[in-house]
Structure formats: C-alpha cells, structure tokens
Amino acid sequence: MHVEPFVIDVEEPVLYDLRARLEHTRWPGPAPGAPWAQGTDLAWLKSLAAYWEDGFDWRARERALNAWPQFVADVDGVRVHFVHVRRGGLPLILTHGWPSAFTELLGLIDRLPAFDLVIPSLPGYGFSSRPPVCTTRDVASLWHTLMQGLGYERYGAGGGDWGAAVTTYMALEAPERLLGIHLSNLDNAPTPTTPLTAAEQAFVAATEHWDATERGYSFEQGTKPQTLAYGLTDSPVALAAWLLEKWRSWADTGGDLARFDRDFLLELVTLYWVTNTIATANRDYFDNRAAGTALLGPDDFVTVPTAIANFHSNFVSEGCLPREWAERIYNVQSFRNLRHGGHFAAAEEPALLAADISAFFAP
C-alpha cells in the first residue's frame, strides 16, 4: 500500500468563485410560520452567508487543519485521505458520518493520548475518492486493508452515523482483527426475532415518528441523489442550508446553532464545497439502500466486545434507545446513557466521548 503525506491547499480561484457565488445568491422569500418550521431559516442563513463571504478565513482554518499529520493512500484502487497520529499506543480507527467530515473527530485527538489514531475521510467525502458503488460493507474492507497496510495487526474501531455502520461491518467481517468497537449511535437495525420489550416498542414508535417528520433527506438521497446534486453543487447557500439544518435538528442544540462555533460549521461546509463532494457523499444513501446494508439479517451478530455511548439528543429525543435493542446484534459490554450531546458527539461533547472511549479500551 502506497502512502504519501498530504497538505490541504485549495487553489485561490476556487475561493474567489465561492465568494462570487455568495455575493450573487438569489434568495427565496421567507417561509410563513415560526422560524425553521419549514426548513432552514432565511434570516439566519443570510447572516451566515454574509459572514462566509466577508468574514470567514478559510486560509486560517486550512493552516489549523494542516497542523495534523495527514496522508493519502491507494487502498484497493481507492484514494483514501486520513489523519494519522502515531504515539505507540493502542491503534484505533475512527470514522465519521453524514453530513460530516473527518474534521468532526479532530477534537478527540488530544483527549485520547493513549491511542494511535487513524481518522479517514469516507470514500467520496473531502479528499477521498469514491468508486461507482460503495457501501458501508465495502468501506469496512477498505479500512481493514488500510490498518494492516499501516502495520497494525489488531486494533479498535469506532464511529457514529455511517461510521457506526462501517465499524459494525468491520466487526462482522474480521472479528479476529478487532480488540473492541465503540459506537456513538446505532446505524444498523436488528431484525427482531422475539417480541419487543416495552422499552423497545417505545423506541420503535419514537423512531417511526422521527422518520415521518425528519427522514425526507434520506428518501431523496436514497432514490434520486443526482437530481439533488445539481442545486447543492451550484449554490453554496443551498449546500449550507441542506447540511446545517441537520446539524441544528440532530444535535443537542435546543434549536440554536450558536451551540457550535460558526467558523467550525463553515469549515465543514467549505470543505464539501472546495472538494465538490456533496454528490458523492450523498450517494451513500443510494448505494446502501440498494444493497440493503442498513438492516442486519437475523443471523448477524457482532461477537466483538462493544461499547455504546447513548447520547441524549441523538436523532430520537429523550435518549430512549434501550440496551436490549442493541444487545440483539452486539456483544454489549458497556452501555452508557449520557445526558448531554447528540448525533455529532465528537464535536458537541468531545470530552464525554473521549472519556467513554478511553474507559472502554483501558482494560
């Protein structure tokens, strides 16, 4: 496996074009009713776009990102970008999800000093290429190849959202390689073979309600991602609206995106923009829907020791994921209900997440 150092260096014409598009945005009228009730609020987005055009300093963010050791590797024909921090500790690969990037996980690095950390960009995100078809099962195989190519025979794995699904398939496909896995949410659902407990029934009902009110993005990306890609690729404002509405509703924000540093959010959106990867990232939903990789079969069971950090505001509110639901498909050794944090746990509560990871892998 060939590995090369990597430095982020976006060409100036790309940034100039971004500012020009922001300046010439064609805005819709405001939606009736309460702000955010029909989607991203107009006044909030106009304010963000004005700062993005005239106040946001991408070069400063670029320099900060380049302070971390980054590399690209050819892994079975896929260009994989990753951060790699070697310390001589326990090897651990951490995987982000959608609509996120490797940047979400960087706040964990200094909080996990006992680990050798590998933080890759999913195929089709940021600086990683994407094959024509790529499921979470495919990524799991790539990650095993990557870790072994870096000299690790056994290692831990963790992640949330798509990262949780990738980690699950890593454990299913090569359990002998993994010391343990840590998940900050469940992205794969079991196929119940016995009656549901009362807590599981409540969880399923809450999930169905969430699907009915929040799942529209997933159906569109899972069926017609290319149609959506034209607008998101052409308009930076549309891209920001599409991504950040999810950060507001899925995180423990109380409806206020001021919970996150504005520069951090724009760093994320700008990363999607300058790499022109929203179309390839959204394709995760189409490929995994077609392959049926979201629902595990009745015979699938992860024997690798598993820890689950159940953050309070992760998708379904009130932190109502019951342990017995997870135990249908995982060898759960640790299950902690955390009262703060949501879907983007590494960015929201990095100290809580890092402490949970450290405690699980310490033995």
Q: Is 209 a catalytic residue?
A: no
Question: For the chain, give me the number of helices (H) and strands (E)?
Answer: 14, 9
Write down the catalytic residue from 125, 272, 285, 330.
285
* Residue written as token pair 């979400």: 104
Distance CA 267, CA 326 (A): 34
Distance CA 358, CA 169 (A): 22
| DSSP calls for 125-192 | STT----SS--HHHHHHHHHHHHHHTT-SSEEEEESTHHHHHHHHHHHH-GGGEEEEEESS--SB---
| Coil vs helix vs strand at 67 | coil
266 contacts 52 by C-beta, under 8 angstroms:
yes
Residue 357 burial (10 A CB sphere; 0-12, 13-18, 19+): buried
Q: Is 54 a catalytic residue?
A: no
Q: Which of 185, 165, 166 is nearest to 310 (CA)?
A: 185
Distance CA 92, CA 157 (A): 5
Backbone angles phi, psi at 5, to 5 degrees: -60, 150
| Coil vs helix vs strand at 26 | coil
Q: Is 343 a catalytic residue?
A: yes
Distance CA 34, CA 244 (A): 18
Write down the catalytic residue from 41, 116, 138, 161.
161
Distance CA 264, CA 244 (A): 11
| Coil vs helix vs strand at 211 | helix
- Give the ranges where 215-349 is alpha helix by DSSP (H): 216-223, 225-234, 236-250, 262-275, 278-291, 323-326, 345-348
- Write out the catalytic residue numbers: 161, 285, 343
